[in-house]
Amino acid sequence: MSGNLTIYLIVAALVTFAIRALPMFIFHKPIKNRFVRSFLYYVPYITLSVMVFPAIVLQTGSLISGIAAMAVGVLVAWFTSNLFLTASTVCVVALILELIL
């Protein structure tokens, strides 16, 4: 490495912190504008959906185990809304199929 690790870390930490903390620090009052409020209401669901698929099916060694794990995860989440149960079912299905396939 050519740079100083401490300086690298300070730069990276400051940039990361600024991006994450400043918006919620600055816009701490409830926003009145209906469009902006609607936009921010949809952001979480849309961004998490974009991040989860297709990444989830590409994570495992084979496409089949990824798709199966996702399908089971969707079903468990739909019927139970339980975070821990969904996360662990996805893990177990992926593990079992990865071992078999």
Partner 1 sequence: MDKKRKSADFFRGIRMGIPVMIGYFACAIALGITASKAGISPIQATLVSLLLNASAGEYAFFQTVLTGGTYIEMAVLEFVANARYLLMSCAIGQKTSEEVKLHERLIIGFDLTDELFGASIAREEKLTFAFYLGMMTVSIPGWAFGTLAGTLLGNVLPTVAVIALGMGLYGMFLSTVIPAARRSKVLFFAVVLSMSCSLAFSLLPVIRELSEGFRTIILTVGLSTLFALLFPIRDKENGEGGDNA
67 binds partner 1 (CB under 8 A): no
Cite the DSSP H helix spans in 27-82.
34-52, 55-58, 63-80
CB count, 10 Å around CB of 65?
A: 21
State which of positions 26-45 bind partner 1 (CB under 8 A): 27-28, 30-31, 34-45
98 binds partner 1 (CB under 8 A): yes
Give 26's Cβ-side CA count (13 Å radius). 6
91 binds partner 1 (CB under 8 A): yes
Among 63, 64, 68, 84, contact with partner 1 (rule: CB under 8 A): 84
Phi, psi of 33 (to 5 degrees): -55, 125
The distance of closest approach from Cβ of residue 64 to partner 1 in the complex, given in angstroms and rounded to an integer, is: 14
